[in-house]
Amino acid sequence: MTLNWQQEAAKYKDQMLTDLTSLLKINSARDVEHKEDDAPLGPGPRDALLQMLAIADRDGFTTKNIENVAGRIEFGSGDEIFGILGHVDVVPAGDGWETNPFEPVIKDGKIYARGSSDDKGPSIAAYYALKLLKDNDIKLNKKVHFIFGTDEESEWVGINRYLEVEPKPDFAISPDANFPIINGEKGIVSYMITFKPVDGADGEMTLVSFKSGLRANMVPQTAKAILTGAMPADFQAKFDAYVAEHKLQGTITTDGDQTVIDLIGKGSHAQEPKAGVNAATHLATFLADFALDAKGGNYIGTIARLMHEDSRGHLLNINHTDDVMGDLTACPAVFNYTQDGVASVLLNVRYPKGVTDESTREGLAKTLSDVADVTIEGHAQAPHYVPGDDELVATLLQVFEDQTGLKGHEQVIGGGTYGRILERGVAFGALPEERENVMHQANEYMHIEDIMNAIAIYADAIYRLTR
C-alpha cells in the first residue's frame, strides 16, 4: 500500500474538530435518575450516540442503533468481523474546571473538555481513520464493525446489550487507552464497605455527615464534613497547618450550630490512585486527631488508619503483585456518612492474576471484621491478557513502530476498556506514552496533534488487520 497515512489524515483536521466539538458539547455522563423511555441510560448518553451515528450517516456509512444504548458503524465485507470498540459516555465533570467542561476550548494546541481524552477524542480519531479508507476507495477483506457503548464508565449495559443481540466481533481494538498497546488489563471490582452500628459515648464533636466521591473509577477531588459541638480553640490553626503541609485547599465555615469543612485534593483515574490526591482520606486523617462521637469516630478513624495513602492495599491486607500484571491497587472512591443513617465507603480495586474478586473480598472482610461488612458492588471483571505473540498484538505493534519510529512494547494497565470483553481484544491508543494522563481529571484535554497522528495509525492498523 503506497498511501501516505499521515498526509491523508492531515486533510481531515478541520472537519474532525467540528465533529469532535459537537460530541464534546454533550454532557453524556450516565444519568439513570433522568432516564426516559427512549433513553434508558439518560438523555446525554443517548444524544451522544445519536450524534455519532448522524456523523456516520452523513458520510455514507451503514449504521445501526441498538435501543439507544449502543450503536454500530459498518464498513468492508468478508467472513470475519474486526471490531473497533469505543464509547460516547463520560464520567461526571466534577469540580475544579477552569473552563466549562462541555464548551470545548482550544488552547496551546490542546482541546479541553470532559471526554476529550476519554473517549470522544480517540473514538473520533478511529472514526476518521475509517472515513479515510472509505474516501480512498480502499477495499477491506473483513467486515469492520465500529461499535459504540454508552455507559463504559459504569456498568457496561450498552455493550452487553449489543453483544446479546448483534454479531460478536472475532477480534477487536478499543481506542480508549495508550499507545503503543494495552494487551493486558487487571481485574476490576468495587467493594461496598458498610459500617456496623456502634455504641458509645458522645465526643466533644459530633460528625453529622461526611460526603466525598462521584464514581468508583475516580479518586475523589473534594470532600465535605459537617460537625456540631464545641470546636477546639486551635481547630482552625491546625486545619490551616494541615492544608499547607499537604499542599491542599480547604475552608472551614459555620452554618448556625454546624461547622462545615471542605477540602480539595486532586481527582484522577482510580486505576492509579497515586496520580491523584484523595480529599476524603486526607479529611478523615485530619479529623481523626479530634474527639468525635463514637459512630463518627469509628468511621473517621477506620478510614484514616486503613485507607489513607495506601494505594497497594497493604494496610487492608489485600496487597498482591504479579510478575506480568504488576500490583493490586486500592482506591477508596465514594464516601457516604450520615449521623442517623448510612456509613459506607466504596473501595475500587484493580487486581492482577493470582487473586480473585472473592479472595480479595474475604481479605477485606477479615481485616474489617470488627467494624464493617464487605460486599461486591456491581459487576466485577476478571483480569484479561492477550499474549504478545498473538497476530493481533504483533501487527499493531508493527504499525505503531512504522508510523512513529518508536519501539513498541507490551503493556498492562489497571484501567478497564471494552477490549477486555473479547478473548482477542486489546486497547490501542490514542494517548502517546510520553503524555500526561488526564483522563477523569478536571481540565481534561487532548493534544490535537495526537488525535491527528492517531487517525494515521488507526487507518494503517485497520488496513493491515483486514487484509
In this structure, the answer to whether residues 78 and 143 fall within a common structural domain is: yes
| Predicted local distance difference test score (pLDDT) of residue 200 | 74
In this structure, the answer to whether residues 10 and 82 fall within a common structural domain is: yes
All three cell numbers of 191, joined, read 467493594
Which among 152, 185, 310, 327 is annotated as catalytic?
A: 152
Contact in structure between 467 and 144 (CB atoms under 8 Å): no
In this structure, the answer to whether residues 269 and 402 fall within a common structural domain is: no
Q: Give the residue numbers spanning the domain of 273.
A: 188-381
In this structure, the answer to whether residues 373 and 417 fall within a common structural domain is: no
Query: CA-CA distance, 343 to 295, in Å (whole number)?
Result: 9
| Predicted local distance difference test score (pLDDT) of residue 1 | 59
| Count of structural domains within the chain | 2
In this structure, the answer to whether residues 170 and 211 fall within a common structural domain is: no
In this structure, the answer to whether residues 14 and 30 fall within a common structural domain is: yes
Q: What is the pTM of this model?
A: 0.85
Q: Which of 17, 43, 334 is nearest to 193 (CA)?
A: 334
The CATH number of the domain holding residue 340 is 3.30.70.360
In three-state form (DSSP H/G/I as H, E/B as E, the rest C), the secondary structure along 185-214 is ECEEEEEEEEECCCCCCCCCEEEEEEEECC
Question: b/e string for 148-175 if b means 16 or more Cβ within 10 A?
Answer: bbbbbbbebbbbebbbeeeeebbbbbbb
Task: Judge if the upstream peptide bond of residue 175 is cis by omega within 30 degrees of 0.
Answer: no
In this structure, the answer to whether residues 278 and 403 fall within a common structural domain is: no
Query: CA-CA distance, 231 to 252, in Å (whole number)?
Result: 11
Which among 19, 31, 47, 89 is annotated as catalytic?
A: 89
In this structure, the answer to whether residues 46 and 99 fall within a common structural domain is: yes
Query: CA-CA distance, 148 to 169, in Å (whole number)?
Result: 13
- Using 70 as the pLDDT threshold, list the residues of the chain that sit under it: 1
Burial (Cβ within 10 Å: 0-12, 13-18, ≥19) of residue 308: middle
Q: What is the largest CA-CA distance in the chain?
A: 79
Q: Which of 447, 467, 466, 462 is nearest to 399 (CA)?
A: 462
CA 271 distance to own-chain centroid: 8
- 152 catalytically annotated: yes
In this structure, the answer to whether residues 73 and 138 fall within a common structural domain is: yes
Q: Is the dihedral of CA 190, 102, 413, 274 positive or negative?
A: negative
In this structure, the answer to whether residues 307 and 406 fall within a common structural domain is: no
All three cell numbers of 301, joined, read 478513624
Domain finish residue from 327, 351, 381: 381
Query: CA-CA distance, 63 to 72, in Å (whole number)?
Result: 5
Query: CA-CA distance, 236 to 233, in Å (whole number)?
Result: 8
In this structure, the answer to whether residues 214 and 361 fall within a common structural domain is: yes
Domain finish residue from 321, 353, 381: 381
The CATH number of the domain holding residue 13 is 3.40.630.10
Domain finish residue from 348, 381, 414: 381
In this structure, the answer to whether residues 120 and 224 fall within a common structural domain is: no
